[in-house]
């Protein structure tokens, strides 16, 4: 499976082997800014208009909309297990969210600046965040304690 996002909030879920696709519509305004699909190809997570959406990849149905009620979502990273997502928003806000329970597990302000990028390590133990203060942070994924803070070298 492959998923792509369009400027009009639609996602195209491609079955590469069959050469076909189905459309998933957010029903929200704004372009699709981030997309991820779980390793089992059953769930699609995407963001648009400051919201996070979880959709069933088989049916194309939206399962839940997360986070506009708590924070604006600028970027997100899906854990390797596909069960958790790290959301980053304006003002350095970072949240760890459990997709299945729809619960925020951790929330904190990393720095007073906007978080611009986020990623999980392949083993899921570390989260990397890049902020517009030109620093990169490595966080323990379980505790969210800062492991390292490094200035970006150009």
pLDDT tens, position by position, 116-140: 889 999 999 999 988 877 888 899 9
Q: How many CB atoms lie within 10 A of CB 66?
A: 24
- What is the span of the domain harbouring residue 141? 68-154
pLDDT at residue 5 in the model: 83
Q: Which DSSP symbol is given to 69? A: T
CATH assignment at residue 81: 2.40.10.480
Q: How many CB atoms lie within 10 A of CB 69?
A: 7
- Reply yes or no on whether the pLDDT at 59 is more than 80: yes
Q: Which residue has the tokens 């302000």?
A: 109
pLDDT at residue 27 in the model: 63
Give pLDDT tens digits for 21-56.
888 876 666 778 889 999 998 999 988 877 888 988
CATH assignment at residue 6: 2.40.10
- Asked whether residue 127 falls in the same domain as residue 148, the answer is yes
Structurally, how many domains does the chain consist of?
2
Q: pLDDT category, 71, cuts 50, 70, 90?
A: low
Q: Which residue has the tokens 């049916």?
A: 59
Going by their DSSP bridges, the two strands 32-37 and 43-48 should be labelled as antiparallel
């Amino acid at each position: 499976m492959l998923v792509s996002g369009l400027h009009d909030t639609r996602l195209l879920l491609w079955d590469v082997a069959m050469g076909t696709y189905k459309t998933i519509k957010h029903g929200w305004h704004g372009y699709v800014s981030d997309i991820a699909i779980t390793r089992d190809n059953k769930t699609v997570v995407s963001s648009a208009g400051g919201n996070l959406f979880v959709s069933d990849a088989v049916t194309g149905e939206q399962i839940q909309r997360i986070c506009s009620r708590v924070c604006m979502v600028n970027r997100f990273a899906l854990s390797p297990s596909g069960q958790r997502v790290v959301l980053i928003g304006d003002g350095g806000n970072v949240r760890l969210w459990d997709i299945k329970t729809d619960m925020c597990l951790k929330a904190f302000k990393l720095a007073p600046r906007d978080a611009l990028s986020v990623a999980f390590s392949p083993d899921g133990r570390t989260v990397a965040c890049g902020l517009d203060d030109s620093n990169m942070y490595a966080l323990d994924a379980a505790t969210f304690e800062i492991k390292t803070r490094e200035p970006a070298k150009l």
